[in-house]
Amino acid sequence: MQYEYKVSASRFSKLGPLARRLVAVVLLCACCLDASAGNQKEEAMADSVRLALSKAITDSRPPNLQFSDIKDRINYLYWRGEMSERLKSKLPDLQVRQEFLHTVWYEAKRAGLDPQMVLGLIQVESGFHKYAVSPVGARGYMQVMPFWTRTIGDGDPQKLFDMQTNLRYGCSVLRMYIDLEAGNLYLALGRYNGSRGQAEYPNAVRAAWTKWDYKE
């Protein structure tokens, strides 16, 4: 869901100081709402599923990457370098970009997901805006709905603006949906967006995913 907010320079220059400040506030708020909004629905879950999700979320270990051999580590470093170049326009700060990619890789692999697919989903959901908030209240990079913090977390939705917390929730929830749909990614992505069975959202994620394709 995308929105456009335009005020011409000539019209803006004719506004008084107070009006200019009001316009600036409106535009700032609009940017915060410019997200493709996952509208995950609160569903009944088996106790075992809820417990597994809660355990995954509350694991406080930092993203410490483990590699089976030096070739895997070198491949990761090449991947991070390539993705960093592609992401430069969205996240200009190199340190922020590398920390973000480090965490995406860790949380995606931890959940058994393709990191490129996760990047595609983030592109569609929030456009890589850490503080994005959708019209239905989904938050952060992966547009996680606040009810998840009550269902499987500590009840603090503000933590969804923390990078690792948001990515962990998003990857864990998507992994759960994939398992519930017996590996059917199309249905799982629809479920993540609250539009199960409809093609628009899964197709958008798949299209974005191809932009982050990486060949070892």
Is pLDDT of 1 > 50?
Answer: no
Can you tell me the mean pLDDT for 121-127?
97
Mean pLDDT for the chain overall: 84
Q: pLDDT tens digit string along 146-156?
A: 999 999 999 99
**Do 141 and 194 share a structural domain?**
yes
pLDDT at 26: 36
Query: Lowest-pLDDT range, 6-15, 45-54, 109-118, 195-204?
Result: 6-15
Q: Report the 10 Å Cβ neighbour count for 160.
A: 25
DSSP string, 128-157: T-TT-B-TT--BTTTTB-THHHHHHS-S-G
List the one residue out of 191, 163, 165, 194 whose CA is nearest residue 178: 191
**Do 20 and 119 share a structural domain?**
no
Can you tell me the mean pLDDT for 96-125?
97
pLDDT at 3: 30
**Do 104 and 27 share a structural domain?**
no
**Do 149 and 82 share a structural domain?**
yes
Find how far residue 55's CA is from the centre of its chain. 20
**Do 185 and 78 share a structural domain?**
yes
Q: Please, which residues bridge with residue 144 across strands?
A: 139
Q: Please, which residues bridge with residue 133 across strands?
A: 139
pLDDT at 104: 97
Q: pLDDT tens digit string along 77-92?
A: 999 999 999 999 999 9
Task: Please report which confidence band the pLDDT of residue 4 belongs to, taking 50, 70 and 90 as the band edges.
Answer: very low
Q: What is the DSSP letter of 131?
A: T
Q: Which domain holds residue 22?
A: 1-34
**Do 167 and 157 share a structural domain?**
yes
Q: pLDDT tens digit string along 10-65?
A: 443 444 554 444 433 333 333 333 344 456 777 777 788 888 889 888 877 778 88
**Do 14 and 65 share a structural domain?**
no
**Do 69 and 167 share a structural domain?**
yes
**Do 50 and 22 share a structural domain?**
no
**Do 121 and 155 share a structural domain?**
yes
**pLDDT more than 70, % of the chain:** 81
Kindly state whether residue 2 falls inside one of the protein's structural domains: yes
Count: domains in the chain: 2
Question: Looking at residue 81, which CATH number applies to its domain?
Answer: 1.10.530
Can you tell me the mean pLDDT for 116-121?
98
Place of tokens 């938050």: 139
Amino acid at 140: G
Is the pTM value of this prediction over 0.75? yes
Can you tell me the mean pLDDT for 163-189?
96
pLDDT at 156: 94
pLDDT at 16: 54
CB contact at 8 A, 84 and 78:
no
pLDDT at 38: 54
Place of tokens 């923390």: 162
